Amino acid sequence: MAGVTDLFDRQVRDLRVSVTDRCNFRCTYCMPKEIFGPGHEFLPRDELLTFDEIASVVRAFVARGVNKVRITGGEPLLRKGIVDLVGMLSRVDGVEDLTLTTNASLLARKAEALAAAGLNRVTVSLDAMDDPTFKKMNDVEFPVGTVLDAIEVAAAAGLGPIKVNAVIQRGVNEHSVVDMANHFKGTGHIVRFIEYMDVGNTNGWRLDDVVPADEMIDQINAVHPLEAIPPNYPGEVANRFRYSDGDGEVGIIASVTKPFCGSCTRARVSAEGSMYTCLFASEGTSLRDAMRSGVDVGEVISEVWAKRDDRYSEVRSDATPRLSVPVEMSYIGG
């Protein structure tokens, strides 16, 4: 089957599947405790897509041009049976790159099984190298050392090179930029610094909280000279830079200051099976309901993608309030 293109001629190429809306962290920029406290209601189990349903959705996307699949959440390693799901998805013909994004809290104990089940790589989220800052950001007292140990275990299990994602917020962890560059330079792991985004409705985002990509590059460049290098493939979201001394590379994801909607080929499916065509969408289309009522899920995907005209980050303006309430990052999976 031919690939499907949207109204701006963008093909659907990569898919992010959220497998749970739950998380054992309460990152202040993603699941702040005031909102995601003890009283918060997560999705009931029967509303989540089953593994068979997830596999059907993935097969339908692959038939329409997707070859990269990322498992995310919430915290995906909290989903019971996650290793079995990885096994099922790795056997779907046409999935060339199967990856997972995790906070690494459960990674050390699962890395080997995940690799054996066919996972190609993991991306680990880590926002600081010092415990006071990291604990303040994850808000559950989780220490940096456990994440660093898990990164090494995952790399040894063959899940590298590990990408380490760091969300940088003004006045919170700006110092992490140089700290993380210093730590990971020469290790073979690739840190990707992410501009803090206005996703969801709960993190109180202001443009002033964003540390622009250029500023992050200047900070690193002042200590370790950098050179821009070309993307690995068209549409790669991170801008790549290599250390001039040959000691590895870093990436910068400038979603706010240099939006990349023009080459955005990514579809997202929430844990309850809603398809979203943009990280900032407020409404999804339920693939679960389609499947459970016998409708051809592939047809639904084609129809939704063919009508897609999202380019939120390119038209975002601090002066323009959003017209609708977007979904949360922990629900849609980043």
Question: In the stretch 27-46, what mask flags binding to ligand SAM with x, by CB under 6 A?
Answer: --xx----------------
Which residue carries 């949207």 as its tokens?
Answer: 6
Q: Is 312 an interacting residue with respect to ligand SF4 (CB under 6 A)?
A: yes
**Amino acid sitting at position 268:** R
- Joined together, the tokens standing for residue 315 give 């038209």
Residue 89 partner contact from ligand SF4, ligand SAM, none using kind-dependent CB cut-offs of 5 to 8 Å: none
Q: Show contacts with ligand SAM in window 74-133 (CB under 6 A).
A: 75, 101-103, 125
Q: Does 25 bind ligand SF4 (CB under 6 A)?
A: yes
Q: Which is nearer to ligand SAM, 6 or 272 (CB)?
A: 272
DSSP letter at 76 equals G
Cα dist from 31 to 22, 185, 194, whole Å: 10, 30, 17
d(CA 203, CA 31): 8
Q: Nearer Cβ to ligand SAM, position 57 or 104?
A: 104
CA distance 193 to 167: 6
Q: Choose, by CB under 6 A, the member of 60, 164, 264, 332 that binds ligand SF4.
A: 264
Q: By CB under 6 A, tell whether 194 contacts ligand SAM.
A: yes
Residue nearest to ligand SAM (CB): 334
**Environment class of 134 (CB within 10 Å of its CB; exposed 0-12, middle 13-18, buried 19+):** buried
Is the sign of the CA dihedral 198, 203, 206, 211 positive or negative? negative
Q: Which does 107 bind (CB under 5 to 8 A by kind): ligand SF4, ligand SAM, none?
A: none
Indicate the SS3 state at residue 169. Answer: strand
CB of 239 to ligand SF4, least distance (A): 14
**Residues making contact with ligand SAM (CB under 6 A):** 23, 29-30, 72-73, 75, 101-103, 125, 165, 167, 194, 196-197, 199, 203, 329-330, 333-334
